[in-house]
Structure 1
Amino acid sequence: MTPLELIHGLHWSDLPPPVQARAELVLLDLIGIAAGGHGTRLSHIIRDHAAEMFGGSAPMLFDHRRASPPGVALAGGMMIDSLDGHDGYNPSKGHIGCALFPAALTLAHRTGAPGAAFLATLVMGYEFGARAAEALHGTAADFHTSGSWGAVTAAAAAARLLKLDRETTRHALGIAEYHGPRSQMMRCIDHPTMVKDGSGWGSMAGVSAALLSQKGFTGAPAVTVEDAPEHWADLGDRWAILEQYFKPYPVCRWAHAPVEAVLALRRAHDLGPDQVERIEIETFHEAVRLAVKEPKLSDEAQYSTSYPAALAMVHGGIRAEHLADDALTDPEVMRLSRSMVLRESDFANAEFPLRRFARVTLVLRGGRDVHSGWVTPRWDHTDPPSSEELRAKYHDLADPVLGRSRADAIEDALSTLPKTGLAPLTDQLFAPIS
């Protein structure tokens, strides 16, 4: 199967039952993260920007205002990215769904796509996006944000929903690759701000590329699609959507292994934060650099290793409300974050990015230390969460924002989407949050 055959030839009825079931769950998870991120400063700013600067008639996610499809994709992608709890793909060191979902949603609504066609587009996007990410990282030296290959993935989804012919689709992919945000991920790791992982910009660029190609704008080829065949050879034989990890905590995945190690020691030794003098972490290079010890804003707290580990020690977990801008002043969390020691490990470096290892020492008051072994994050694709666990995560995020009845209505609409169509879902997603 070629990339173009995947884009235009994949049908819902062709998909194995586990892939169909996973499509519903990744979509539910993304919607929960969007609801949880709706109230962030980043989300307010980007939705205002889309409404003011991207005039159009397309409805925005969880907002009463409208914008153009590229503006809607930008706002939706950035809303999801504003709470770093969405699924990801270890080989790419990034995320597929964040850019894909808002692009597919706005154009499925625009074109009146059936529910099954929308879900098949989502699956296609995960398969396409996984290979596009691997192709980019395999052919370019710099570590680019998810928005870079997310732009090409969003263009693929848009081209499918717009029913572009194959040559026009080639141009859409090329335009998206050329104009997509090849932003430097480690710059945001070193200086966490609202630019995040570039996913919203990638979604916007991908939708724009498809709409431009539809008008005759040229841009082919996309070199990561056409000149890196080794990364596309397993299309149709392997389902990358089943290889996504999920996040139990809304912080950068690189912080999850230290968090799990802290929680395991906390439980095993029945410890409270007042008993801990400091936390020491060994992990891989990138996670050591992800160490904003005194975050002032939510984006800095999410892109940190030390602050989430301190939150875990104090609260026994990490919830979205712990990361709100006005919640970053807990003196005990700040004490443990400031005093944290992070060290780089050759072992953890060698395993990254396919596995993310950390081990933790809690230096206790009174002179005793307790140590974890090497720990990896929960909910990796090799040991995924159950459907019940993901649904509980969704409700933890969505219920306080949407209300239980509306959150239930979204869940019900997803369960019948292949049969009932998009309207029951979009009626909920395009209504404002009061």
Structure 2
Amino acid sequence: MTVRMSEATSTGVTVPLARWVEGLTAAAIPERVRSRAAHLLLDGVACGLVGAQLPWSRVATRSVLDLEGAGEAAVIGTGLTTSGPAAVLLNSTYIQGFELDDFHPLAPLHSTALILPVLLATAGHRGGVSGAAALTAAVAGFEVGPRVGLALHGAQMLSRGWHSGPVFGTHTAAATAGKLRGLDAGRLEDAFGMAGTQSAGLMAAQYEAMSKRMQHGFAARNGYYAAGLAAGGYSGIKQVFDRPYGGYLAVFGEGHDPDASQIVAGLGEGWHTELIMVKTHAAQGGLHGTIQAVLELRAAYDIDPDTVSRLEIRVGHTVYRHGWWPPQRPLTSVGAQMNLGYAAAVALLDGQVLPPQFTAARLDADDVWRLLGTVAVKLDEEIQNGPPAQRFATEVTITTTDGTVRHRRIEQPHGGPADPVTDDEIVAKYRALVGPLLPAARLDAIQAAVLGLDRLADLRELTALLAPPVGGALDPAEVPS
């Protein structure tokens, strides 16, 4: 089913979007898109199982279970159960737990953290659903969220201080849960309305708050709730994207000329699932260009960090606002994972930006802070005013004490639409992250279940593989809260 702009012009965009989600079938989704969606879910599984072991995740687990108590929904990687909404909240928090999960480069949100927890909880609530139905619902979520985000000009929301993913993410979760529940277009419209009224997220959480890692979980839970309420006949805001007073775009886009047409642009023809970026570094997506540039310079010129007198980073407005502030010693791990200077310093020193770069010892290391003292981050208007595909472009210039200057420009980092992480790389990432935590048989079984989702009779088979406790390589005592 393809949505034509003429339909959106005559009816607004909310109803056509709901009709598209209702009518979406597995047969309408190209095989390459279904395969990519399954691989994105595998990446989310890897991030979630690792994230479940982290100390702030354990604080979240204790706190949420103290509020919610036991239930029938699995909290992955723990052996625990709780209510459906609480499981969605925690499982999303785990996936977002260490800045390893996917993000959309033009409409920034972390899609799998919104989709996978909702799939698992909805399947449990309904007494099972087929893997094929789950994969179709996942694609609905992968497609809806970025389009809502682009209507608000995507990364502009980050520049304004919103945590964009939780703002767009409620609709991602509502679309996924609503599709898996078999809601008709009218009920989906209700779900979108209730999702929109629960959208929120403040980006100041990035400096030190554990809750930064839970904010997509709030959105996932709220979208899951919205679909459940709609399924029960509870009505939500109609035409939520179209209302001029109090509507979603009118409020979140006030003074910024939102473009409602983006919500249905290309539905059924172009696929945002294929644009989603898979991370290769444990840092926010806007830092990946800087990290890649530094690593390439390090490899090409064997730069001695002790000789660096200036490390200049030039980025556009969104990355500048979201990724730079003068850090104070020591940073929290979440602050370090958001900070351009810290990411550049450890990339040059260590040759990687992964969990070992965010231990307590590394966050307060003298060599890191000496190099941080040479960092200068500049807002580059040419990058900011360039083509949208280059808004995450980065220029890094390293000057050494003998006057040597080394420069590298990254138009799009590896993982972006121009140079996507391959499916084979996603599998390798899964096995590298989760392999040390699980017996080989369980590792293989999870991979087979996710990548064979089209053929899985009941999604609860995957839940059974994900639910038991895991543990091993990542020592939580070495990671600060």
Identify whether the pair has TM-score above 0.5, normalized to the shorter chain: yes
**Kept in 2: contact 1:278–1:339 (CA 8 A):** yes
After superposition, residues 340-351 of structure 1 pair within 5 angstroms as: 340-351=375-386
Sequence identity (%): 28
After superposition, residues 292-303 of structure 1 pair within 5 angstroms as: 293=327, 294-303=329-338
Does 198-207 or 46-55 show the bigger shift? Answer: 46-55
**Kept in 2: contact 1:93–1:353 (CA 8 A):** no
User: What displacement does 1:23 show?
Assistant: 1.2
The reply on whether 1:425 has 2:425 as its aligned counterpart is: no
**Kept in 1: contact 2:52–2:76 (CA 8 A):** no
Residues of 2 paired with 1:229 and 1:380: CA distance? 24
The reply on whether 1:220 has 2:237 as its aligned counterpart is: yes
Gaps of 5+ in 1: none
The reply on whether 1:183 has 2:201 as its aligned counterpart is: yes
Report the counterpart of residue 114 of structure 2 in structure 1.
Answer: 99
The reply on whether 1:134 has 2:150 as its aligned counterpart is: yes
After superposition, residues 184-263 of structure 1 pair within 5 angstroms as: 184-185=202-203, 187-189=204-206, 191-196=207-212, 198-221=215-238, 223-224=240-241, 228-263=260-295
Structure-2 change in CA distance of 1:188 and 1:354 (3 Å): farther
CA offset digits 1:364-410 (Å, max 9, x no partner): 13332222235431111222122222211122221223344432221
**Kept in 2: contact 1:12–1:116 (CA 8 A):** yes
Report the counterpart of residue 7 of structure 2 in structure 1.
Answer: none
The reply on whether 1:389 has 2:425 as its aligned counterpart is: yes
The reply on whether 1:35 has 2:49 as its aligned counterpart is: yes
CA offset digits 1:240-293 (Å, max 9, x no partner): 101111211010111111111111111111223233234221112333342353
Structure-2 change in CA distance of 1:154 and 1:339 (3 Å): same
Residues of 2 paired with 1:244 and 1:304: CA distance? 22
Residues of 2 paired with 1:334 and 1:402: CA distance? 36
Residues of 1 paired with 2:182 and 2:363: CA distance? 47
**Kept in 1: contact 2:341–2:372 (CA 8 A):** yes
What secondary structure does 1:5 align onto? Answer: helix
Structure-2 change in CA distance of 1:206 and 1:71 (3 Å): same
Report the counterpart of residue 118 of structure 1 in structure 2.
Answer: 134
Residues of 2 paired with 1:233 and 1:361: CA distance? 39
One-letter amino acid matched to 2:110? H
User: What displacement does 1:47 show?
Assistant: 1.8
What secondary structure does 1:90 align onto? Answer: coil
One-letter amino acid matched to 2:212? K
Structure-2 change in CA distance of 1:230 and 1:310 (3 Å): closer
Q: 1:166 aligns with which of 185, 194, 213?
A: 185
What secondary structure does 2:197 align onto? Answer: helix
CA offset digits 1:89-123 (Å, max 9, x no partner): 12213322221221122112322110111111111
**Kept in 1: contact 2:292–2:410 (CA 8 A):** no
Structure-2 change in CA distance of 1:351 and 1:325 (3 Å): farther
Residues of 2 paired with 1:193 and 1:115: CA distance? 36
What secondary structure does 1:348 align onto? Answer: helix
After superposition, residues 35-54 of structure 1 pair within 5 angstroms as: 35-54=49-68
Q: 1:14 aligns with which of 28, 31, 48?
A: 28
Report the counterpart of residue 84 of structure 2 in structure 1.
Answer: 69
The reply on whether 1:275 has 2:289 as its aligned counterpart is: no
User: What displacement does 1:232 show?
Assistant: 0.7
**Kept in 2: contact 1:100–1:157 (CA 8 A):** yes
**Kept in 1: contact 2:73–2:83 (CA 8 A):** yes
**Kept in 1: contact 2:114–2:219 (CA 8 A):** yes
Structure-2 change in CA distance of 1:352 and 1:106 (3 Å): farther
Does 399-408 or 225-234 show the bigger shift? Answer: 225-234
User: What displacement does 1:295 show?
Assistant: 4.6
Report the counterpart of residue 309 of structure 1 in structure 2.
Answer: 344
Residues of 2 paired with 1:283 and 1:171: CA distance? 40
The reply on whether 1:291 has 2:310 as its aligned counterpart is: no
**Kept in 2: contact 1:127–1:241 (CA 8 A):** yes
After superposition, residues 351-430 of structure 1 pair within 5 angstroms as: 351=386, 354-355=389-390, 356-421=392-457, 422-430=459-467
Residues of 2 paired with 1:102 and 1:136: CA distance? 25
Residues of 2 paired with 1:230 and 1:393: CA distance? 33
Does 12-21 or 316-325 show the bigger shift? Answer: 316-325
One-letter amino acid matched to 2:17? P
Residues of 2 paired with 1:352 and 1:299: CA distance? 30
**Kept in 1: contact 2:413–2:419 (CA 8 A):** no
One-letter amino acid matched to 2:56? L
Residues of 2 paired with 1:305 and 1:297: CA distance? 14
One-letter amino acid matched to 2:107? S
User: What displacement does 1:326 show?
Assistant: 5.1
**Kept in 2: contact 1:136–1:149 (CA 8 A):** no
Residues of 2 paired with 1:87 and 1:39: CA distance? 19
What secondary structure does 1:224 align onto? Answer: coil
> What is the TM-score with the length of structure 2 in the denominator?
0.83
**Kept in 2: contact 1:107–1:158 (CA 8 A):** yes
What secondary structure does 1:82 align onto? Answer: coil
One-letter amino acid matched to 1:144? W
Gaps of 5+ in 2: 4-15, 244-248, 250-259, 472-481
**Kept in 2: contact 1:362–1:369 (CA 8 A):** yes
**Kept in 1: contact 2:88–2:117 (CA 8 A):** yes
Residues of 2 paired with 1:222 and 1:406: CA distance? 45
Report the counterpart of residue 253 of structure 2 in structure 1.
Answer: none
Residues of 2 paired with 1:3 and 1:325: CA distance? 46
What secondary structure does 2:299 align onto? Answer: helix
Count residues in correspondence: 431
What secondary structure does 1:237 align onto? Answer: coil
